[in-house]
Every structure is written in structure tokens, then in C-alpha cells.
Amino acid sequence: MSNSTLNPQGWRIWWQAARPRTWPAAIVPVLVGSAIAARSGQFQGLPFLAALLASLLIQIGTNYANDLFDYLKGADRQRQGPTRVVQSGLVTPSQMRHAVIFVFGSAALLGVYLIFVGGWPIAIIGVLSILAGIAYTGGPYPLAYHGLGDLFAFLFFGVIAVMGTAYIFTHQFTAPSLVASLPVALLVTAIIIVNNLRDIPTDAAVGKRTFAVMIGDRNTRREYTLCVLGAYLFPIGLAALSGSIGWWWLPFFTLPRAIQLVRTVLQGQVGPSLNRMLGQTAQLHLWFGMALALSILVS
């Protein structure tokens, strides 16, 4: 490996730490929430771009904080997933701490504009999202270490992110935005589930009690199945709310892929072999979310 590759200032190292494969978790809620606003004729381009960038920054900041705090707590000593840059020595804890502050600070600056557009409820959502991103693996009661990581993902990268995005434009929380947020929440949680399923042995060894550690391997695979297949119930709910079949069936184009992923997980893959499943689950989340956003727009 070349010295340039190991240079802590190299952009590739920060890109790796940002974990681009997880970015659909930040992109999809903004797409779906913006589609809800567009359907009612209230979409605006600049707030959309600001919300998308802020959401991505919160995702990246959470990934950076996770990299840092898992290292400080010793949870990365027997890493089975992609390389963590602090644990591998590519970035010092101090450098990563400054990166976390910079990224979350940038998200907060964008939040000032979004508060101007959407009002003070957006301030509350933004502050809670940043605090939750830090508290996921940091602070006196890290969420992921106490079985709350799945719930964190479900709420902040699902329900709150979709409904909050729609609120920026519409200034109201509605039943359609809630129903549309639930499949997004389920599929983003499935990403976390695969990650934690892979890490059950190493997390248990260092006292990191993720929900997967608490319920065990078999039940974690069942949880994944329920989250992935359960997401397909909600386009039906949106069709019922609208009183028309319309184009609400579009997300079902991704169902064969979802079934394939569920079958693979239920077959019992373990350890690093689940890294591929992590990326494929994120892809499913993205394709489902895009199809759902399109169905909202055209139905």
C-alpha cells in the first residue's frame, strides 16, 4: 500500500470512513418526503437541495462518530466489516473528533436555512437528529450498546426524516406522510439489522449489546425478514388512503429482489459474507424508495 493511500489527509480515507454504501439511508427519506410535498404542489428546489445535503451530512457525521466511539470503546478489535479508519490507524482519534464536529456543524448551518423555510419544528428535528447521531455509539448511554440502534434508525432515518422533510414544504404533519415513512423506516432498519447480525460474536465479546445480541442469531434473521417484507404492505395503505390503485404498485417491482435477499439471510450466512448483503439491502432501500417517491408523484 502506497504512502499516499495511508495519508490521513487523503480524501479517499475520509470517503471510506463516510461509508457511501449507507447513504441511501439519508437520500431516500428526503426523496419520499419531497414527493409528498410535490404531490400537493408545494415543492421548492432550494429547500430540497438543502434538506438532501443536511441529511447526507448527518449520515456521514453519524458514521464518523461511530468509527470514533467504537474505537474508543474497543468494539473494533476483531472487525469483520469494512475497515474502520481510526482502528486501523489511518486517522487519529483527534482528527476524527474534529471531522465529526465539522460535519455535524455543517449540517447545523444548513439547518438554519431550513428553519427559516420550515419553522421551529425543523429546529427540534435537526437538533434531535444530530444528538441521536452522536448518541448512537457515544455519550454516557450509547444507543447501539443498549439495544436501541434499530429503533434509532427506524425513527430518525425513517419516520422523522420523511415527515420532517415533508413538513419543510407543507408546514404540516399528515397521515400520508406517516404511512409513506413506515416502509422507508423498515428498510433502513433492515440495513442496521444486517450489520448487527454480522457482528453478533464480536459485539457480544466486548459487551456491545445490540438488539441482535439480545435476541440472538435466529430471531435477528426473522426481524430482517419482517422489516423487508413488511415494507410492501404500506403502498397498499397509501392506495387505500388515496381511494385509488393508481401507481402505488410501482414499489412491487423490487419485491423479487427483496425475496431473494430474505432467502439468502435465512440460509444462515455469517461473518464477513454478510458484508455483501449489507450493500444489497441498502440498494433495495434506494430502489424501493425511488419507486415509492415516483408512485407518490404520479398517483
Are 10 and 4 contacting, i.e. CB atoms less than 8 angstroms apart?
Answer: yes
- Cβ partners under 8 Å of residue 154, min gap 6: 185, 186, 188, 189
Of 23-27, 236-240, 283-287, the least confident: 236-240
Distances (CA, A) of 268 to 195, 212, 221, 230, 274: 14, 14, 8, 20, 10
Residue type, 294: L
pLDDT at 142 over 70: yes
pLDDT (mean) for 73-90 = 72
Residue type, 261: L
CA separation for the pair 92, 126 (Å, rounded): 28
Query: Could you give the angle at the alpha carbon of 272 between the alpha carbons of 188 and 15, nearest 5°?
Result: 60
pLDDT in tens, 105-134: 999 999 999 999 999 999 999 999 999 999
Are 57 and 107 contacting, i.e. CB atoms less than 8 angstroms apart?
Answer: yes
pLDDT score at 272: 77
Class (C level, CATH) for 3-298: mainly alpha
Q: Is the dihedral of CA 53, 102, 186, 278 positive or negative?
A: positive
pLDDT in tens, 33-60: 999 999 989 999 999 999 999 999 999 9
pLDDT score at 28: 96
